[in-house]
Amino acid sequence: MQIVNTVQALRTLIHTWKAAGKRVAFVPTMGNLHAGHCQLVTAAQQHADKVVVSIFVNPTQFGVGEDFDSYPRTEAQDQEKLQAIGADLLFLPSVEEMYSPTAKTVVSVAGLSELYCGASRVGHFDGVATVVCKLFNMVQPDVALFGLKDFQQLTVIRTMVNDLNMPVDIIGIDTVREASGLAMSSRNGYLTPEQRQTAPLLYQSLCAAREAMVAGLDYMSVEKNALSTLQNAGFQPDYFHICRSVDLAPAQQGDTELVLLVAAKLGKTRLIDNLYFTR
């Protein structure tokens, strides 16, 4: 596996691959890699000849008081994992390499970015869209893979790619879960042992809501019951919403392609999860 730290070195290598007719897949990450990230890389190998992985903790998607400074950084271990699963190239840029001090451009997906996580994390999805747009311009991938755990993020990225006519195929990969059902996340490391016992209830609340919907319970009651369950278990819910999976608009009783979105704090740790299905 090759490692580069500059855009120039990245482009030089990828230009060589493209000139040789190689198809390039891209997996952007913020590091602290777990089995979910590794599954993205493994899936990427099925879609391309070469796989590029980036590790960059993006400051523009963190708000005031969020965990940018404390976000887990494990570059040595990450490199070992990527080497073991056969990634071809690791792009490991600095903040200075990614952002000019005079940069003035922000990519914003209007409407979607203000919903749900965007309502409580103001500017978050502008930071996500901007850095992903920049990375796509740097890597020039044929295909990019993202985990479905952050369903809203994936929807924002797909919308940006479509709106800006970017020649990148976006593939979503199913969430990897711990044995308890808890979605794998770098932020799970913030949980105390006691909180880890409680955290799987987040996914259980999604499964219970789906069952209630299939049984015919009205959507407002499903959302209300889920929020109450989480609160009683010690969570501080941010939201629990039933949405259309295509555009994340609030679902109506007649909609069939659905996604349940939830975000809640457990102690100081903010957890998100989702469950999409056809009714």
> Which residues are marked as active site?
37
Rounded to an integer, what is the distance from CA 16 to the centroid of its chain? 30
Bin 199: left if φ > 0, else alpha if -120 < ψ < 50, else beta: alpha
Quick check: 1 and 106 in contact, CB under 8 A? Answer: no
Structure tokens at 191: 């949980």
Q: Which residues are CB-contacts of 73 (< 8 A; sequence separation ≥ 6)? A: 31, 32, 57
Residue with tokens 């392609």, as numbered in its chain: 257
The number of residues making up the chain comes to 279
In this structure, how many other beta carbons lie within 10 angstroms of the beta carbon of residue 212? 16
Q: Residue 141 in contact with residue 163, Cβ under 8 Å? A: no
DSSP state of 6: S
For the record, the structure tokens of 84 come out as 């073991």
In single-letter form, the type of residue at position 68 comes to F
